[in-house]
Amino acid sequence: MGKGGQDFGKQKEDKNPRPSDGDVFPAWAKEIQECEKHFGVDRKLGLSSADVEKRREKYGWNELEKHEGQSIWSLVLEQFNDTLVRILLAAAVISFVLAWLDGEEGGEKEITAFVEPLVIFLILIVNAIVGVWQESNAEKALEALKEIQSEHASVIRNGSKVPSLAAKELVPGDIVELKVGDKVPADMRVVELISSTLRVEQGSLTGESEAVNKTNKPVSEDVDIQGKKSMVFAGTTIVNGHCICLVAQTGMLTEIGKVHSQIHAASQSEEDTPLKKKLNEFGEMLTMIIGVICALVWLINVKYFLTWEYVNGWPANFKFSFEKCTYYFEIAVALAVAAIPEGLPAVITTCLALGTRKMAQKNALVRKLPSVETLGCTTVICSDKTGTLTTNQMAVAKLVALGPKPTILRKFKVDGTTYNPLDGKIHDWPTGRMDANLQMIAKIAAVCNDAGVTHAEQKYVAHGMPTEAALKVLVEKMGLPEGSLGAESSESELLRCCQKWNEFESRVATLEFDRDRKSMGVIVNSRSQKKSLLVKGAVENVLERSTKVQLLDGTVVPLDENSKNNIVKALNEMSTSALRCLGFAFKDELTDFESYDGDEDHPAHRLLLDPSTYSSIESNLVFVGLVGLWDPPREEVFDAIEDCRAAGIRVMVITGDNKNTAEAICREIGVFDDDEDINPRSITGREFMCLPDRKAYLRQSGGLLFSRAEPKHKQEIVRLLKEDGEVVAMTGDGVNDAPALKLADIGIAMGISGTEEALNYTRRVNLIY
């Protein structure tokens, strides 16, 4: 069983430690054996029950801290933390007391005297009720983080497997098994790859637009969160592969825990909106003026309630009338109450509510009324890229096929930004007359593919890898060649073309994607009972293993240097446009697999069990074409940025994605001009944090781009802008955006993912904080 439990984590003395980069063991930078030694565990046996108890006593449960919300009474008191409101409250109290004292006289005067203070009290009570209702419904960001945490995990303890352990019971050193579809329950070091590859969707945490490959090999200690390839993080999802991991951090020490802490810290330093600041200034000035005037009015009438006689030139024999003094004091108070615009809070609230209604008509939901006014005062917009400026849905933008000669390439532009097969078309497409080369591309894209697309609640949703889902949508746009596949499926079937190709080419075996060869292959059995290999992957790698090319009419010719250079040139053109390129190839000569039908006793089956043989199987390929995919910008973004520029609002893009992709998108949407030198304006989050004068860098006019930005980088940028007097709006859709959303003067949660998991709208929604 795991030893060393008593020595583990001696660097921590706090029973409930807080996240700190300096005191966390860098598991991603250490060899597996070193990690096991540090955590005192054998990955084959797991921790013992005694070790688990000791570690839980030291580190607590694997869950995020629960912060006590404001009590109802503190929320009520907050509503009176306003100068005008306090003045009204004081005036109402004084009026009420005086009315009570005068009430001894009885009659009509008693009833009418109470009308004014009661009306003021009613206004203040209604205003407080509205404010408390807004505040009590405003804080959900921290709860949303808890919703994305995993609930169960498959763990090895005491030498045996526990298939479904509550995720909150995990402790550092636990050995966890992860498969496709699992949500990662803690920050963990990958110690063993059971499948040949492991890919994780971690965009909500890091801002990356694609699923990333993970490894069990150590990486440099001096890397950002995106570079920690040997770590999987709590709240992310396994989209491909099977692995064994070692729990490195739990609870508040995870990356999600750090985000949680940053959100909580930001919530403790909320500032007044520009409107409230102006109202407070107005209230203080009004208080001073009214106070002086009321004092003068009272003093002018002092001769009516205070008289005296002069004796030897000096005032003497003073006579004071309390009744008259009270009377004139009432006049002064009445003047003060009349001068105070008690209807102002109600008028402001009504105007903001009308603004909220107008914004709702444009799919913008406002959670706090002052946000409407703050939005109008914005001077800088800091925007996330993935899922905010872009759709967060992969789509094919360009298709390149071979022509009648090896040196001639045909290029097709593909429209569409969603997973809806009817969204967009392929320009200059030979509908119904697909040649042999295009048919082969469609076949590979449909069959060498594990993804799917479904339609529910007016949305098209990808299942599996987004790039593969985009390829299936491309196949639907390509259509079916006339008469080549027999009777067509019903028009109502979403992926009818892909279904037909899979019926025609039945899969026998799969050569899983491998990070070394960077390709995926499937062995299929056609209706002619002839085996063939279909391959898709990184264009350079597929091209390197290809010896021939297929031409327009299906003819196969040798791949010469000129043909190869043409293909590489097309690849470079698409890569510089931020397109992720995939190449397609096939192979008909499969001697070892001619009689293979999936039988485990067949000699060829042993080749499939060893991923190191995949490269040799995928050799001497016939190259047929390539496609360029991207996460396309939203259609409305370009005009929105132009409107911001015209209004004098600066736009800064802060993303966790890589620099080249982010720069290309920023040129596409108009943050930068096509021919503009953006080197002085494009920087990584880490480079920004190392600048000697970060505020000076942020003062540059025009757009700025921050790539590879972590949540703390985004929060720091927003903080510095606010300190410099800017009114900052932050837009984002992921967990990594939540701290900055909370800290900004106005936070805008885009879409249906990230910090507002509970939102499940069928159309695009912007939630304004």
Distance CA 341, CA 293 (A): 16
Residue 722 clears pLDDT 70, i.e. is over it:
yes
Q: In the predicted model, what is the mean pLDDT of residues 125-146?
A: 58
The larger pLDDT score, comparing residue 159 to residue 126, is at 159
DSSP string, 166-197: EGGG--TT-EEEE-TTPBP-SEEEEEEESSS-
Helix (H) or strand (E) holding 683: strand 682-684
pLDDT for res 198: 86
pLDDT more than 70, % of the chain: 79
- For residue 188, what are its two tokens? 């963990």
Residue 156 clears pLDDT 90, i.e. is over it:
yes
DSSP string, 511-528: E---TTT-EEEEEEEETT
pLDDT for res 3: 40
The contacts of residue 555 (CB under 8 Å, 6+ apart) are none
Q: Which of 136-145, 454-463, 592-601 has the lowest mean pLDDT?
A: 136-145
Q: How confident is the model at residue 19 (pLDDT cuts 50, 70, 90)?
A: very low
pLDDT per residue as tens digits for the range 171-210: 999 999 998 888 899 999 999 988 877 888 887 787 776 7
Distance CA 447, CA 586 (A): 12
The contacts of residue 387 (CB under 8 Å, 6+ apart) are 203, 732, 733, 734, 750, 751, 753, 754
Distance CA 1, CA 40 (A): 9
174 is catalytic: no
pLDDT per residue as tens digits for the range 635-684: 888 998 999 989 899 999 998 888 888 888 898 889 998 888 888 899 99
Helix (H) or strand (E) holding 157: strand 152-157
Residue 452 clears pLDDT 50, i.e. is over it:
yes
The Cα-based distances of 426 to 201, 422, 453, 627 in angstroms read: 29, 11, 19, 12
Q: How confident is the model at residue 605 (pLDDT cuts 50, 70, 90)?
A: confident
Distance CA 737, CA 392 (A): 15
Sign of CA dihedral 200, 206, 207, 213: negative
Helix (H/G/I), strand (E/B), else coil: 209: coil
CB 208 within 8 A of CB 192: no
For the chain, how many residues are written?
Answer: 769
Q: In the predicted model, what is the mean pLDDT of residues 208-232?
A: 86
Q: How confident is the model at residue 455 (pLDDT cuts 50, 70, 90)?
A: confident
- For residue 657, what are its two tokens? 């994605």
The larger pLDDT score, comparing residue 310 to residue 428, is at 428
Residue 399 clears pLDDT 90, i.e. is over it:
yes
Residue 320 clears pLDDT 80, i.e. is over it:
no
Q: Residue 381: beta bridge partners?
A: 651, 729
Q: How confident is the model at residue 349 (pLDDT cuts 50, 70, 90)?
A: low
Q: Which of 287-301, 407-421, 572-586 has the lowest mean pLDDT?
A: 287-301
Residue 396 burial by CB count (10 A; 0-12/13-18/19+): exposed, middle or buried? Answer: buried
pLDDT for res 760: 30
The larger pLDDT score, comparing residue 591 to residue 250, is at 250
Q: What is the DSSP letter of 7?
A: T
**What mean pLDDT is reported for the chain?**
80
Distance CA 652, CA 666 (A): 10
Q: In the predicted model, what is the mean pLDDT of residues 527-532?
A: 80
Distance CA 623, CA 559 (A): 8
Helices marked H in 559-671: 561-575, 603-609, 614-617, 637-646, 659-669
pLDDT for res 582: 95
Helices marked H in 301-343: 322-339
Q: How confident is the model at residue 84 (pLDDT cuts 50, 70, 90)?
A: low
pTM > 0.85: yes or no: no
The contacts of residue 593 (CB under 8 Å, 6+ apart) are 508, 509, 523, 531, 604
**Distance separating the N- and C-terminal Cα atoms of the chain:** 50
> Helices 370-377 and 344-360 meet at what angle, rounded to 10?
70
Q: Residue 728: beta bridge partners?
A: 380
- For residue 306, what are its two tokens? 């205070």
Distance CA 116, CA 95 (A): 8
Distance CA 527, CA 544 (A): 30
Residue 377 burial by CB count (10 A; 0-12/13-18/19+): exposed, middle or buried? Answer: middle
Residue 268 clears pLDDT 90, i.e. is over it:
no
Catalytic residue among 51, 384, 450, 514: 384
pLDDT for res 298: 82
pLDDT for res 624: 96
pLDDT more than 90, % of the chain: 29
Q: How confident is the model at residue 474 (pLDDT cuts 50, 70, 90)?
A: very high
The larger pLDDT score, comparing residue 268 to residue 485, is at 268
Distance CA 514, CA 180 (A): 16
Q: Which of 101-105, 345-349, 494-498 has the highest mean pLDDT?
A: 494-498
